[in-house]
Amino acid sequence: MKRIMLFLMTNIAIMFVLSITLRLLGVDSILAENGSDLNIQALVILSGVIGFGGSFISLLMSKWMAKRMTGAVVITNPSSNIEKWLISTVEKQAKIVGIKMPEVAIFPSPAMNAFATGASKNNSLMAVSQGLLDSMSQGEVEAVVGHEMSHIANGDMVTLTLIQGVVNTFVVFLSRVVGHIVDRVILKNNQGHGIGYFVTVIVAQIVLSILASTIVMYFSRKREFVADTGGADLAGHQNMINALKRLGQVEPEALPEQMAAFGINDKGGIMALFSSHPPIEDRIEALEKRAGMRP
């Protein structure tokens, strides 16, 4: 809750400074002279509601969405030795990191992958693919589980949701300001919102969203290094390194876009700036340096 309040207050402060900056630059005066009825204060509030509203709704629905999109089945009564071992491993790690036992699920994919999601660290879901259980040793699976448990314990789901909310707010706000400028100043439309406004807002929102995604992905990549460290602490550096090497040997099957940032691995984007995960080689190198295996 403290983290949510901090991000909200930070966002409000940034948007307040941005609105003041626009006034100092004379943007509101220019718009007023051209017949614009833009209310910057109201737009700031609207942008915050839209920007954070969607992000928080996605967060609250994240476990339900994850189960639906991946076909993950929560283990309620372990029916095999591997399921019993998996439950026991998650339970042990949950106690170590100090969180409530998350729901544990297996999703039917031959690829090696895993993810964690949930509205909070004490209301979470940790899932692994059947392919990961079939292909990795127990030590490697334990490291992957530790990686996902670190995401949960560090509150990464909430953190990335808040970052997404902040950038969404900016996208909504700036796209509408640009729309007003084009509609009123350039196209000289003084009667309501013309087609120029709506087209500009749509185009600006698409462009700004693409640029904003690089910010979210940057923070996502940083959190992966931290989660790798957590997995190494819980299962041993060598197990974590071996798990990453195993993941690096095959082309990963991407998780649904909404969950990609919380997986153990993901397909990189066309450019590194749009990838939710750092290159496997960089992650291995970071762990080896931490363990003293490299200078």
Report pLDDT digits (tens) over 262-292.
566 655 545 566 788 888 999 999 999 998 8
Examine residue 193 and state whether it is found in any structural domain, yes or no.
yes
**How far apart, in Å, are the Cα atoms of 294 and each of 50, 142, 229, 245?**
47, 24, 16, 16
**Count of domains in the chain?**
1
Burial 103-117 (b: 16+ CB within 10 A, else e): bbbbbebebbbbbbb
Structure tokens at 150: 């670190």
Q: What is the DSSP letter of 80?
A: S
**Is there a catalytic annotation at residue 148?**
yes
pTM of the model: 0.83
Distance separating alpha carbons of residues 253 and 272, to the nearest angstrom: 17
Would you tell me how many other CB atoms lie within 10 Å of the CB of residue 137? 12
What is the CA angle 106-242-279, rounded to 5?
Answer: 85
Residue with the bigger pLDDT between 29 and 138: it is 138
Query: Residue 10's pLDDT is what?
Result: 65
Structure tokens at 224: 């992966």
Query: Residue 291's pLDDT is what?
Result: 82
Query: Residue 40's pLDDT is what?
Result: 73
For 74, the enclosing helix (H) or strand (E) is strand 73-74
Burial 190-229 (b: 16+ CB within 10 A, else e): eeeebebbeebbeebbeebeeebbeebbebbbebbbebbb
Distance separating alpha carbons of residues 93 and 205, to the nearest angstrom: 42
Distance separating alpha carbons of residues 2 and 184, to the nearest angstrom: 42
Report the Cα 123 to chain-centroid distance in Å.
17
Q: Per-residue confidence at 35, pLDDT binned at 50, 70, 90? A: low
Tokens 């998996």 -> residue: 86
* pLDDT tens profile 219-237: 989 999 999 999 999 999 9
Query: Residue 54's pLDDT is what?
Result: 82
Q: Are strands 103-107 and 114-120 parallel, antiparallel or unpaired?
A: unpaired
Could you write out the three-class secondary structure of 111-132? CCCEEEEEEECCEEEEEEEHHH
Structure tokens at 90: 């998650």
Domain that holds residue 246: 1-67+154-295
Q: Which of 49-53, 71-75, 103-107, 287-291 has the lowest mean pLDDT?
A: 49-53
Instruction: Tell me the mean pLDDT in the region 149-171.
Output: 89
> Over the chain, what is the mean pLDDT?
84
Examine residue 132 and state whether it is found in any structural domain, yes or no.
no
Q: In what order do the strands lie in the sheet with 114-120?
A: 73-74, 103-107, 123-129, 114-120
Examine residue 212 and state whether it is found in any structural domain, yes or no.
yes
Query: Residue 191's pLDDT is what?
Result: 73
Examine residue 54 and state whether it is found in any structural domain, yes or no.
yes
Query: Residue 26's pLDDT is what?
Result: 65
What percentage of the chain exceeds 90 in pLDDT? 44
Examine residue 139 and state whether it is found in any structural domain, yes or no.
no
- Are 141 and 133 contacting, i.e. CB atoms less than 8 angstroms apart? yes
Would you tell me how many other CB atoms lie within 10 Å of the CB of residue 69? 14
Examine residue 282 and state whether it is found in any structural domain, yes or no.
yes
Examine residue 220 and state whether it is found in any structural domain, yes or no.
yes
Is the model's pLDDT at 22 over the cut of 70?
no
Catalytic member of 103, 142, 148, 224: 148
What percentage of the chain exceeds 70 in pLDDT? 79
Compute, in degrees rounded to 10, the torsion defined by CA atoms 62, 207, 168, 50: -90
